[in-house]
């Protein structure tokens, strides 16, 4: 897969993720107004520094890890092998892998090794998507 195609997919996936998160935060009244046409939804760009819900933690700033970018790149991986390559390119520590797993609501056990955490993350983001695609016959 070309790098440009991967970047376009990643950008589109990030935009869709933001849209979904915005809609999920809307109240029932807001959703009703939107669906009836009484209201419209507008998207605007804001600096990440002004956002509080996705504000990086002190540890994120120290490590320079962009967890959203990792998730986006894994969401476009075409195989589990590609997923492992992508994940390993970030050279994450056990602590960072654990944080990603918890963000994805993956059960983390004290005895999980770096390899086991990588496997769990890849299965959640890549393997399950590929299995679903295979079941649907695509």
- For residues 123 and 62, state if they share a domain: yes
How much is the pLDDT for 52?
Answer: 42
pLDDT, tens only, 56-65: 554 444 456 6
Maximum mean pLDDT: which of 47-51, 97-101, 114-118: 114-118
Both tokens assigned to 45: 């760009």
Query: Whole-prediction pTM value?
Result: 0.53
With contact defined as beta carbons under 8 Å apart, do 78 and 103 qualify?
Answer: no
Residue 66 has pLDDT above 80, yes or no: no
Q: What percent of the chain has pLDDT over 90?
A: 14
More confident of the two residues 25 and 51: 25
- For residues 70 and 112, state if they share a domain: yes
- For residues 61 and 3, state if they share a domain: no
- For residues 60 and 76, state if they share a domain: yes
End-of-domain residue from the set 16, 32, 53: 53
End-of-domain residue from the set 53, 77, 93: 53
Lowest-pLDDT range, 31-45, 72-86, 104-118?
A: 31-45
More confident of the two residues 22 and 46: 22
- For residues 133 and 79, state if they share a domain: yes
Cα distance between residue 46 and residue 28, in whole Å: 25
End-of-domain residue from the set 11, 27, 53: 53
- For residues 101 and 134, state if they share a domain: yes
Instruction: Domain of residue 108: give its range.
Output: 56-138
- For residues 24 and 67, state if they share a domain: no
Number of Cα atoms under 13 Å in the Cβ half of residue 41 = 15
End-to-end CA distance of the chain: 17
């Amino acid at each position: 897969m070309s790098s440009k195609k991967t970047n376009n997919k990643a950008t589109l996936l990030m935009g869709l993720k933001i849209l979904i998160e915005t809609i999920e935060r809307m109240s029932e009244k807001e959703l009703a107004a939107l669906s009836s046409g009484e209201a419209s939804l507008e998207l605007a760009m804001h600096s990440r520094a002004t956002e509080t819900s996705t504000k990086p933690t002190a540890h994120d700033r120290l490590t320079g890890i962009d967890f959203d970018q990792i998730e986006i790149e894994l969401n476009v991986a075409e195989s589990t092998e590609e997923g492992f390559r992508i994940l390993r390119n970030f050279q994450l520590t056990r602590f960072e892998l654990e944080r990603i797993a918890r963000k994805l609501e993956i059960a983390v056990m004290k005895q999980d090794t770096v390899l086991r955490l990588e496997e769990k993350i890849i299965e959640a983001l890549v393997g399950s998507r590929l299995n679903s695609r295979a079941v649907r016959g695509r």
